[in-house]
Amino acid sequence: MAADALTRAGARVTIYDHRPSPARKLLMAGRGGLNLTHSEPLELFLNRYGAAAPHLEPFLRAFPPRRLREFCAELGEPTFVGTSGRVFPKSFKAAPLLRALLARLVAQGAHFEMRCEFAGLTGERGLLMRRADGALFEIAPEAVVLALGGASWPRLGSDGAWVAPLEAGGVAITPLRPANCGALLDWSPFFRSAFEGQPLKTVRARHGELLARGDLVVTRSGLEGGPIYALSSRLGAAVEQAGATTLWLDLRPDAQVADLTRKLERRQPKQSLATALRKGLRLGKLEIALLHESQPAGLPRETATLAELVKTLPLTVLGVADFARAISTSGGVRFDELDSRLMLKARPGLFLAGEMLDFDAPTGGYLLQAAFSTGYAAGLGAARFVGLEQPSGINDASE
C-alpha cells in the first residue's frame, strides 16, 4: 500500500523483502477466504481497536473500509459482504488480489529486492540490510517505510526481528505478545481423547468485564474460536502476571438462571443427572462433559447451584498459544514515538505501518483494514516528505 501511494506520486520505489516471494502472510490469511474488512458503520468499526482507536482513527477515516473495497475493485477483484457483515473478495481468495497488486506496482515502476532483511539503523538516514547469504550492505534512501509485520506465523516472514534494532536506536516499543490465539488448558486425558476437535456452539466467554460470544472448538491443548481470540490478549497478560487465570463460559447465554433452575426442578425421581441436563437444558455430551471437567469433585446436586454453573462455568487457563500459532500480534512501536504522518519523531524520513504499530485488533477484518490504512498513510506521508505531490485519485483525510 505504501509503495502504491509512492509510485503513484512519482517516487522511485524499491521494495525489500527477506522471503523469496512477497506477502506470504496475506496468502495465509486468505486460506479461509481473506476477510479484508467489515461493513459495520465506521463509528462502531473504530471502537473495535480499544485504546488504540484515537491513534488509528485519522488513518482509518482517510482510507476507510469503503475505500478499501473500491481499491480492490480497481484491481479487478470486487468484494461482497457476508452474512456476518464481513467483507471478502468475490473470488474468496488472496492470490488473485495479490497478483493484481504486484502487477500494478511493477507497471508503476516499483522494483523488488527479495531475500533482503532489515538489520538496523545507520547514521542519520541509512538502513543496514542483510542478504540471504549473510552479507551486509547499507542503503540511504530519501525516505523509508518499514512494514515488517508483528511476530505471529514467523515462518512466513513476520518474526519480530525488527524489535531489537529499533530499540537499539532508542525507539520505545510495547512488548509483542501473541493475539487472536487459542487458550491453553490442562484437559483430563478422557476429555481430550473424547472431544478433541469438537465444536462448542453459541457460548459466551468472559474474562473480567470483557465478554465475547460465538462458537468454540476443543483442541488438544485447550480452546480456540472467535470468543477466545477476542479475549486472548487479556488472558495472556493475566497469566503472565499470576501464572494462571480463570475463563468463565456461559453455555446457555440466552437463558436466565431462574429459567434453567425451573427446568432442572422438573427432573423425574429416577432420572439421572446427565439425562436431566440433556433433556431439561438440551445440553450435549460435550457440554455435560465440560461441566464435569470443571468440577472434578462432582457436580452440585442443588438445582439452582447447578443452573448457576451452566451460566458461569470456570476453566483455568494456563497460557495462550505462542507466536507460531497466533493469528496476530499485540504491542509494537508506541504511537507517541510517531507524528501524525506515522513518521518517527526522532528519525525524520522513517515511517512505520501495519502490525509494527502498538495496537490490537480482533478478528473480523480489522487487522487487515488497519494494515491497508496505515500503509496508505505512511506511503502518502513519505511522498510528501520527499516533496512529491499527493497522488491523483487518492482521497485525503479531509474528505
pLDDT tens sequence across 333-344:
999 999 999 999
Give the residue from 205, 177, 226 showing the smallest Cα distance to 317.
205
Distance CA 191, CA 391 (A): 58
Which residues are registered as beta bridge partners of 137? 129
Q: What proportion of the chain, given as a percentage, has pLDDT over 90?
A: 89
Kindly report, residue by residue over 175-231, the tens digit of the pLDDT. 999 999 999 999 999 999 999 999 999 999 999 999 999 999 999 999 999 999 999
pLDDT band at residue 157 using 50, 70 and 90 as cut-offs: confident
Taking 80 as the threshold, does the pLDDT of residue 396 lie above it? no
pLDDT tens track for 66-115: 999 999 999 999 999 999 999 999 999 999 999 999 999 999 999 999 99
CB 97 within 8 A of CB 75: yes
- Residue spans of the domains in the chain: they are 2-179+324-385, 183-320
pLDDT at position 395: 47
C-alpha span between 325 and 46 (Å, rounded): 26
- pLDDT on residue 398: 36
Is residue 116 within 8 Å of residue 129, measured between CB atoms? yes
For residue 191, what are the CA distances in angstroms to 161, 221, 226, 285? Answer: 39, 11, 22, 11
Q: Hey, what's the cell of 299?
A: 457436580
What is residue 397's predicted lDDT score, i.e. its pLDDT?
A: 42
Q: In degrees, to the nearest 5, what angle opens at C-alpha 244 toward C-alphas 242 and 249?
A: 130
Question: From edge to edge, which strands make up the β-sheet containing 245-250?
Answer: 313-317, 245-250, 199-207, 210-218, 222-224, 183-184, 319-320
Contact at 8 Å (CB) between 213 and 230?
Answer: no
C-beta separation of 211 from 312 below 8 A = no
Tell me which of 155-169, 204-218, 361-375, 384-398 is least confident.
Answer: 384-398
Which residues are paired to 249 by β-bridges?
205, 313
Return the CA Rg of the chain. Answer: 24
CB distance 60 to 42 below 8 Å: yes
Q: What does the pLDDT read at residue 390?
A: 65
Secondary structure letter of residue 182 according to DSSP? P
pLDDT of residue 244: 97
Query: Does residue 62 register a pLDDT over 90?
Result: yes
pLDDT exceeds cutoff 60 at 120: yes
Strands, E assignment, the chain: 14-17, 37-38, 79-81, 86-89, 111-114, 116-122, 126-131, 136-139, 144-146, 173-179, 183-184, 199-207, 210-218, 222-224, 245-250, 313-317, 319-320, 328-333, 350-352
Q: What is the mean pLDDT of the chain?
A: 94
Q: Is the full-model pTM beyond 0.85?
A: yes
Using the predicted structure, report yes or no on whether residue 162 has a pLDDT greater than 60.
yes
Confirm if 48 and 362 have CB atoms less than 8 A apart.
Answer: yes
* Confidence band for 30, pLDDT divided at 50, 70 and 90: confident
User: Cell digits for 387?
Assistant: 516533496
The Cα–Cα gap between 374 and 370 comes to: 6
- Domain 2-179+324-385 coded CATH 3.30.70.20: no
pLDDT (mean) for 345-360: 96
Confidence at residue 1, expressed as pLDDT on a 0 to 100 scale: 96
Q: How far is CA 359 from CA 53, 108, 179, 354, 387, in A?
A: 8, 31, 10, 9, 30
